[in-house]
């Protein structure tokens, strides 16, 4: 593994890669800072730029955008109490309080330093856990892959949806879209309506651009007043970052980064959940928990280290098992597939020359993020002044180009528009779009696993087959736990409420 890392460093450190990483970080922070623009949207819109690049460069660009965007949300959260991405919602609590007390630049410095550690620690986790986990994935047979698909879907449904029924419906819609194309057993074309473009299934990237970018644009144009938000940057000046800012709260950084990495590994749990968990845990361990919420610098760090910890963590499950942990990695999966790369052990052996430079690129991205953030964060606050009508138009044009350029095919553009409108209708009615994406990706994996398991069982009970294999048994238990969690939570909260009322 050591040789691979050395090779990765050698291949990653070219001036082209460094330049592209720097550009990616800047674009990512810009996207993150814009309220309503998420990391997923940024990566989805920029994916077409990677078509013509070599795989290492393309992946480094996407990873840099990802890291930058997750951090970028904190800038507007701190300065304007408007989280640029949902991931920065926890940062806004204490960050904005600090701004009101005139300590905006201190909060911005804290956010970038904590984000840096979150990103670096999780990238290290990816480098250390990734390869052995990928080898372990070789032991996965059809039953395990089926259960992995089922587990991934249940967890995203229970975690993201406000209503369990609506979450389930979103997931089933995704699974049904996943059945379009040839079936895994007989290669019979299902729901293709004679369209040759649908034979290999619905193209993933256009569907993602539609669900995340186009639907977001439609939601944005309704609230175009946002563009007139005034940014007062006059009180941000006056404090130069010091070296000691980097190690102000080491324990908090490490704790939050580990939480972020772990949450990132779980399918469905995103950066916003990680940030709130990191914040809560820091509060629990703190000697002065009552100061949380009043503009505490450590609180900003706790939230930011956790949400950037998600970046590396979510890549662990993506690269080793092919299971995207959140919507950004779902799009990254599309980016991998365009380059002809398949997640799994192969990525760390046959394609080590691509994978390791990419992993090293993640460290580079975090270093650039630190530099850009430390010296330029307040400038990014100005992007919020860009009028929404211009942004909306550019996003649609980029989305159309991105969908078209994958296969030089207008049909993919229509697919994008279909999913854009569908996504908008779903989101305005309380349905989450993330389960749809996971359904499209996990559906074929799960179905293939199931049909092959039936063959494997040779007429015997398939349930027996699933229960007799240790990994699949663990996954079954995890699935049951994740399905039961919302009910347990509800029970727990209602009990707590009763207790509070009694007091």
* Residues near another protein, by CB under 8 A: 48-49, 51-52, 163, 165-166, 168-169, 172-173, 175-176, 179, 183, 185-186, 188, 190-191, 214, 217-218, 221-224, 387-390, 392-394, 396-398, 400-401, 404-405, 408, 410, 413-414, 417, 420-421, 424, 429-430, 447, 450-451
Enter the tokens of residue 156.
């995203």
Please provide the DSSP assignment of 23-39 as one string. Answer: HHHHHHHHHHHSTT--H
Q: Find how far residue 484's CA is from the centre of its chain.
A: 24
Residue whose CB is less far from another protein, 429 or 503: 429
Q: How far apart, in whole angstroms, are the C-alpha atoms of residue 296 and residue 208? A: 38
Place of tokens 């670096």: 120
Q: What letter would DSSP give residue 138?
A: T
Residue whose CB is less far from another protein, 173 or 437: 173
Q: How far is the CB of 195 from another protein (least distance, A)?
A: 14
Q: How far is the CB of 461 from another protein (least distance, A)?
A: 17
Backbone dihedral region for residue 456 (phi beyond 0: left; psi -120 to 50: alpha; all else: beta): alpha
Helix (H, G, I), strand (E, B) or coil at 21: helix
Residue whose CB is less far from another protein, 175 or 273: 175
Q: Find how far residue 105's CA is from the centre of its chain.
A: 27
Q: How far is the CB of 182 from another protein (least distance, A)?
A: 9
Place of tokens 């007091």: 503
Residue whose CB is less far from another protein, 8 or 210: 210
Enter the tokens of residue 478.
């995890």
Q: How far is the CB of 18 from another protein (least distance, A)?
A: 20
Q: How far apart, in whole angstroms, are the C-alpha atoms of residue 66 and residue 29? A: 9
Tell which residue, 422, 330, 433, has the closest CA to residue 47.
Answer: 330
Q: How far is the CB of 174 from another protein (least distance, A)?
A: 10
Enter the tokens of residue 73.
């949300």
Residue whose CB is less far from another protein, 172 or 473: 172
Residue whose CB is less far from another protein, 275 or 416: 416
Please provide the DSSP assignment of 223-251 as one string. Answer: TGGGGG-----TTT-S----GGGGGSSHH
Convert 349-376 into a string of H (helix), E (strand) and C (coil). CCCHHHHHHHHHHHHHHHHHHHHHHHHH
Q: How far is the CB of 164 from another protein (least distance, A)?
A: 9
Residue whose CB is less far from another protein, 183 or 346: 183
Tell which residue, 344, 283, 426, 314, has the closest CA to residue 62.
Answer: 314
Give the sign of the dihedral formed by CA 404, CA 406, CA 412, CA 416. Answer: negative
Q: How far is the CB of 62 from another protein (least distance, A)?
A: 16
Q: How far is the CB of 16 from another protein (least distance, A)?
A: 14
Q: How far is the CB of 396 from another protein (least distance, A)?
A: 5
Q: How far apart, in whole angstroms, are the C-alpha atoms of residue 150 and residue 91? A: 33
Residue whose CB is less far from another protein, 229 or 410: 410
Residue whose CB is less far from another protein, 51 or 367: 51
Q: How far is the CB of 162 from another protein (least distance, A)?
A: 11
Residue whose CB is less far from another protein, 224 or 497: 224
Q: Find how far residue 155's CA is from the centre of its chain.
A: 15
Q: How far apart, in whole angstroms, are the C-alpha atoms of residue 204 and residue 414? A: 13
Instruction: Specify the DSSP element, H or E, that contains 181.
Output: strand 181-182
Residue whose CB is less far from another protein, 389 or 494: 389
Q: How far apart, in whole angstroms, are the C-alpha atoms of residue 446 and residue 469? A: 17
Q: How far apart, in whole angstroms, are the C-alpha atoms of residue 179 and residue 189? A: 9
Q: How far is the CB of 280 from another protein (least distance, A)?
A: 26
Q: How far is the CB of 416 from another protein (least distance, A)?
A: 8
Instruction: Specify the DSSP element, H or E, that contains 189.
Output: strand 189-190
Tell which residue, 276, 334, 277, 377, has the closest CA to residue 74.
Answer: 377
Residue whose CB is less far from another protein, 37 or 348: 37
Q: How far apart, in whole angstroms, are the C-alpha atoms of residue 500 and residue 479? A: 32
């Amino acid at each position: 593994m050591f040789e691979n890392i050395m090779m990765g460093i050698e291949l990653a450190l070219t001036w082209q890669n460094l330049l592209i990483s720097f550009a990616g970080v800047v674009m990512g922070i810009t996207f993150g800072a814009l309220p309503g623009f998420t990391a997923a949207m940024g990566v989805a819109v920029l994916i077409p730029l990677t078509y013509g690049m070599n795989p290492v460069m393309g992946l480094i660009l996407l990873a840099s955008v990802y890291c930058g965007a997750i951090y970028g949300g904190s800038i507007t959260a701190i300065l304007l109490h408007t989280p640029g991405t949902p991931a920065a919602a926890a940062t806004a609590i204490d960050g904005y309080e600090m701004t009101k007390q005139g300590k905006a630049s201190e909060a911005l410095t804290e956010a970038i330093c904590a984000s840096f550690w979150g990103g670096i620690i999780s990238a290290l986790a990816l480098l250390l856990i990734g390869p052995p986990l990928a080898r372990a994935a070789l032991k996965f047979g059809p039953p395990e892959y089926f259960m992995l698909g089922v587990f991934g879907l249940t967890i995203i449904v229970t975690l993201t949806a406000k209503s369990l029924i609506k979450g389930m419906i979103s997931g089933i819609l995704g699974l049904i879209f996943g059945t379009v194309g040839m079936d895994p057993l007989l290669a019979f074309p299902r729901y293709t309506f004679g369209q040759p473009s649908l034979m290999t299934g619905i193209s993933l990237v256009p569907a993602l651009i539609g669900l995340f970018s186009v639907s977001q644009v439609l939601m944005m144009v309704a609230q175009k007043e946002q563009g007139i938000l005034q940014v007062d940057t006059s009180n941000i000046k006056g404090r130069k970052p010091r070296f000691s800012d980097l190690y102000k709260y080491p324990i908090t950084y490490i704790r939050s980064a580990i939480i972020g990495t772990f949450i990132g590994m779980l399918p469905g749990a995103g950066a916003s959940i990680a940030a709130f968990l990191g914040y809560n845990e820091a509060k629990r361990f703190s000697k002065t928990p009552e100061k949380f919420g009043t503009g505490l610098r450590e609180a900003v760090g706790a939230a930011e280290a956790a949400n950037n910890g998600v970046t590396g963590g979510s890549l662990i499950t993506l690269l080793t098992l092919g299971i995207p942990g959140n919507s950004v990695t779902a799009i990254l999966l599309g980016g991998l597939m365009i380059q002809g790369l398949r997640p799994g052990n192969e990525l760390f052996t046959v394609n080590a020359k691509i994978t390791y430079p990419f992993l090293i690129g993640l460290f580079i991205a975090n270093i650039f993020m630190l530099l850009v953030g430390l010296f330029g964060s307040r400038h990014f606050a100005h992007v919020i002044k860009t009028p929404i009508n211009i942004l909306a138009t550019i996003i649609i044009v980029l989305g159309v180009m991105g969908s078209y350029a994958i296969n030089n095919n207008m049909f993919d553009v229509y697919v994008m528009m279909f999913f854009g409108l569908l996504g908008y209708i779903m989101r305005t009615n309380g349905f989450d779009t993330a389960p749809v994406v996971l359904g499209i990706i996990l559906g074929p994996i799960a179905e293939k696993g199931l049909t092959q398991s039936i063959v494997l069982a040779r007429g015997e009970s398939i349930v027996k087959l699933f229960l007799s294999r240790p990994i699949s048994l663990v996954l079954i238990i995890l699935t049951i736990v994740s399905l039961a969690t919302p009910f347990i939570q509800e029970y727990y909260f209602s009990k707590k409420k009763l207790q509070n009322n009694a007091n």
